Amino acid sequence: LGKKISDMNLKPRKYSHFGVKESVFPFYMFQEVDPVLGPEMRSTGEVMGIADSFGLAYFKAQEAANAKLPTKGTVLITVADKDKKKNVAEAARRLRKIGFNIFATEGTKKFLDKHNVEAELIKKMHEGRPNIIDAINNKEITLIINTPVGKHAAYDDSYIRKSAIKYKIPYITTPAAAIAAAEGIKSYLENKGDVKSLQEYHSEIT
Question: pLDDT (tens digit, 9 = 90+) per residue, 87-139?
Answer: 899 999 999 999 999 999 999 999 999 999 999 999 988 888 999 999 999 99
Task: State mean pLDDT over 169-187.
Answer: 93
Give the predicted TM-score (pTM) of the model: 0.81
* pLDDT, position 126: 84
* pLDDT, position 170: 92
- With contact defined as beta carbons under 8 Å apart, do 68 and 170 qualify? yes
φ and ψ at 37, to 5 degrees? Answer: -75, 140
Estimate the crossing angle of helix 86-97 against helix 175-191, to 10 degrees. 20
Task: State mean pLDDT over 10-19.
Answer: 83
Half-sphere exposure in the Cβ direction for 20 (13 Å, CA): 22
- With contact defined as beta carbons under 8 Å apart, do 100 and 170 qualify? no
Between 197 and 38, residue with greater pLDDT: 197
**CATH topology for the 5-203 domain:** Rossmann fold (3.40.50)
The DSSP symbol for 116 reads T
